[in-house]
Amino acid sequence: MATHIIKRNHVNVQGQGNQTLIFAHGFGSDQTAWRHIVAAFESDYRIVLFDHVGAGQSDFNAYSRSRYSSLYGYAEDLLELCAELKLTHSILVGHSVSAMVGLLASLIEPQRFSRLIFMGASPRYLNDVDYHGGFEQSDLDALYGAMSANYEAWVCGFFAPLMMGNPERPSLAREYAGTMAVVRPDIALALARAIFQSDFRAHLSRLTVPTLIIQSSDDKAVPPEVGRYLASQIPKSQLVNINAQGHVPHLSAPDEVIRAIRAYLVE
């Protein structure tokens, strides 16, 4: 019988192998976004997929504004999932917000992870002195206002096309809009604030787990400067730039992502 944690995060375990790969999705997405990547690794690795609370087929009744007002709540969920499955020395592939969730989890219980793979990751989205995150506070205030005014219109008409890029492939934006539509607007807004107002730069130098940073060549949410910054601040890290447009390269350019991950895992 599925436990509370398995149900809460709609956890799915599949694949072959002794080494475990945990795939953690980003904002507005769910575990189905990893299907192309999973197909390439499931014959050699045990695969763990899950949905963050408030996304996909997670238990929306488990959502608590106080628990999930910061990314620490999501990090606690990840560690509870690892404990439930008795996972240690796993490899976490974290997209977007899940990269910082993985960072926090690794600082709390580093023995859970042998390697981290960050894709589309940012420790701070706001520009600062000697730091280019890509956004001004006025940009984010406008984003929150548009989300609050008409969530569906914001998702379909603006955010999904912006994040996915590849305008000649509209099916990508439609898929992303579809997973975003599942998220309640109040949960999406709370998570957006938690993500975009966060600053985890001071934590990066404390990370002891070896980390791969995958940076897309054209990502409207995470400019190339951020990937270089992460690589300069995380002690045991390496940066790989891939030829991919959009913030969700595992959907828009899965072959590039697979090559980057595979090359890192065989080192």
CB 45 within 8 A of CB 192: no
Q: What is the gyration radius of the CA atoms in the chain, in angstroms? A: 17
247 catalytic? Reply is yes
CB 211 within 8 A of CB 115: yes
219 catalytic? Reply is yes
Catalytic, out of 29, 90, 96, 106: 96
Catalytic, out of 90, 95, 219, 237: 219
Please enumerate in sequence order all residues whose Cβ is within 8 A of that of 214, keeping only pairs 6 or more positions apart, or say none: 117, 118, 119, 120, 240, 242, 249, 257, 260, 261
3-state secondary structure of 1: coil
- Give the side-chain half-sphere CA count within 13 A for 120: 29
Intra-chain end-to-end CA distance of the chain, in Å? 38
Q: Annotated catalytic sites, by residue?
A: 96, 219, 247
